[in-house]
């Protein structure tokens, strides 16, 4: 039996691999894999979303009923886990699959959306949405939009405007809400209308100490520095301790650590300025450059 679907029959052939190649989204996924250490569950989820969107597009092209997959997303996790980087890649994927027209990412916080007096919030929120049209709006620490204990807070007005646009202009903009997992869960519980519009939830786990060392090595290589083996081992111990300290921010914390290690390396060389330096001296971070961190001599973080 040959079933007809619009202008196509059930025997119509589709080369999925060829269609996938033409979108060039594999390039985006490859870059994501290269730029971010670990995060296997996140990368897997992004591939799954990309696959669903590609198949949905092919179904539309063949005149098949489309489930109109929800595009709005929630990224949860601690700071420094790559949420903004992944959002940038997601915007690129959506653009290449023709779900958004421009593919840019606009990152905002509560202060960009919510006013301090009556009549101020709506213009601010609408202006942000205007700038984000055709791309992705990334709202960091989104749970701060909702403050139920403050009757004079205007965050609810911003949420109401966002809801209308997310529903009525789904083909023009994709919204990604981001923040710590527990506050975000409460945020959605308090806003069932918002929760129903967010189809894709992606959680970003904290990095392990071993992954932080790999991130540090990648960061240093970009700046044409390198660790000695001893320095690498010391950094591993540093990472294990830093994870347990307050205000740990994953890759951000490790970036701060290596910036200070570079500063100590420069100071160490300056202290022996009568010595002729080699190229190796200029590019090598030694164990002592990390051991001088206050984290090894006290409970105060460095």
Cα distance between residue 102 and residue 92, in whole Å: 9
In 3-state terms, the chain is what percent helix, strand and coil (to 5)? 55, 10, 35
Q: Are residues 165 and 240 in the same domain?
A: no
117 or 183, which is more confident: 183
Range in 8-12, 43-47, 51-55, 200-204 the model is least confident about: 8-12
What CATH number has the domain bearing residue 23? Answer: 3.40.50.300
Q: Are residues 250 and 196 in the same domain?
A: no
Q: Would you place residue 61 in the very low, low, confident or very high pLDDT band (cuts 50, 70, 90)?
A: confident
What sign has the CA pseudo-torsion 183, 45, 218, 26?
Answer: negative
What CATH number has the domain bearing residue 223? Answer: 1.10.8.60
Q: Are residues 259 and 291 in the same domain?
A: yes
Q: Are residues 176 and 133 in the same domain?
A: yes
3-state DSSP assignment of residue 120: coil
Average pLDDT (278-289) is 95
Looking at beta carbons, which pairs linking 122-129 to residues 24 or more positions away fall under 8 Å?
Answer: 122/157, 122/161, 124/158, 125/157, 125/158, 125/161, 125/162, 126/161, 129/161, 129/162, 129/165, 129/173
- Total structural domains within the chain: 2
Q: Which domain holds residue 136?
A: 13-204
pLDDT for residue 102 is more than 60: yes
Whether the CB-CB separation of 265 and 285 falls below 8 Å is answered with yes
Q: Are residues 242 and 185 in the same domain?
A: no
Q: 3 in a domain, yes or no?
A: no
Q: Are residues 110 and 248 in the same domain?
A: no
Q: 4 in a domain, yes or no?
A: no
Range in 9-18, 37-46, 88-97 the model is least confident about: 9-18
Q: 8 in a domain, yes or no?
A: no
Q: Would you place residue 2 in the very low, low, confident or very high pLDDT band (cuts 50, 70, 90)?
A: very low
Average pLDDT (10-28) is 77
Q: 289 in a domain, yes or no?
A: yes
Cα distance between residue 213 and residue 232, in whole Å: 7
Range in 7-11, 14-18, 196-200 the model is least confident about: 7-11
Q: 5 in a domain, yes or no?
A: no
Q: 301 in a domain, yes or no?
A: no
Q: Give the pLDDT of residue 219.
A: 96
Q: 224 in a domain, yes or no?
A: yes
H or E stretch covering 34: helix 25-35
Cα distance between residue 224 and residue 95, in whole Å: 34
Give the length of the chain: 302
Q: Are residues 267 and 193 in the same domain?
A: no
pTM given for the model: 0.88
pLDDT for residue 155 is more than 60: yes
Residue 22's region, left for phi above 0, alpha for psi from -120 to 50, else beta, is alpha
Q: 1 in a domain, yes or no?
A: no
Q: Are residues 233 and 187 in the same domain?
A: no
Q: Would you place residue 12 in the very low, low, confident or very high pLDDT band (cuts 50, 70, 90)?
A: low
Q: Are residues 291 and 228 in the same domain?
A: yes
62 or 67, which is more confident: 62
Strands 73-77, 200-204: pairing is parallel
Cα distance between residue 270 and residue 280, in whole Å: 15
User: Where among 204, 238, 266 does a domain terminate?
Assistant: 204
Average pLDDT (89-100) is 94
Report DSSP state, residue 143: G
User: Where among 175, 204, 233 does a domain terminate?
Assistant: 204
Q: Are residues 186 and 217 in the same domain?
A: no
Of residues 272, 72, 290, the one with CA closest to residue 178: 72
Q: Would you place residue 302 in the very low, low, confident or very high pLDDT band (cuts 50, 70, 90)?
A: low
Q: Give the pLDDT of residue 3.
A: 41
Average pLDDT (270-274) is 81
Q: Give the pLDDT of residue 5.
A: 44
User: Where among 155, 173, 204 does a domain terminate?
Assistant: 204
Q: Are residues 17 and 165 in the same domain?
A: yes
Q: Are residues 92 and 192 in the same domain?
A: yes
Q: Give the pLDDT of residue 116.
A: 86
Cα distance between residue 170 and residue 163, in whole Å: 10
pLDDT for residue 141 is more than 60: yes
Q: Would you place residue 65 in the very low, low, confident or very high pLDDT band (cuts 50, 70, 90)?
A: confident
């Amino acid at each position: 039996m040959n079933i007809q679907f619009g202008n196509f029959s059930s025997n119509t052939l589709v080369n999925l691999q060829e269609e996938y190649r033409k979108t060039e989204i594999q390039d985006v996924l490859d870059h994501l894999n290269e730029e971010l250490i670990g995060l296997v569950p996140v990368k897997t989820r992004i591939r799954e979303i990309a696959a669903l969107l590609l198949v949905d597009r092919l179904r539309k092209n063949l005149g098949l009923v489309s489930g109109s997959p929800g595009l709005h997303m929630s990224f949860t996790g601690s700071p420094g886990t790559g949420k903004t980087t992944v959002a940038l890649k997601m915007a690129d994927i959506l653009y290449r699959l023709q779900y958004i027209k421009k593919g840019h990412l606009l990152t905002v916080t509560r202060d960009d959306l919510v006013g301090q007096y009556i009549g101020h919030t709506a213009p601010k929120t609408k202006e942000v949405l205007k700038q984000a049209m055709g791309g992705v709006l990334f709202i960091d620490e989104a749970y701060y939009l909702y403050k139920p204990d403050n009757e004079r807070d205007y965050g609810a007005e911003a949420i109401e405007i966002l809801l209308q646009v997310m529903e009525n202009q789904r083909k023009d903009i994709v919204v990604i809400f981001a923040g710590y997992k527990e506050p975000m869960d409460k945020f959605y519980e308090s806003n069932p209308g918002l929760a129903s519009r967010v189809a894709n939830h992606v959680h970003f786990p904290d990095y392990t100490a071993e992954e932080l060392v790999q991130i540090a090595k990648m960061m240093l290589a970009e700046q044409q520095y390198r660790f000695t083996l001893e320095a690498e081992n010391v950094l591993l111990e540093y990472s294990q301790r830093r994870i347990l300290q307050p205000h740990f921010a994953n890759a951000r914390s490790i970036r701060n650590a290596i910036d200070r290690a570079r500063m100590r390396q420069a100071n160490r060389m300056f202290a022996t300025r009568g010595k002729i330096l080699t190229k190796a001296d200029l590019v090598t971070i030694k164990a002592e450059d990390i051991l001088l961190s206050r984290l090894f001599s006290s409970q105060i973080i460095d």
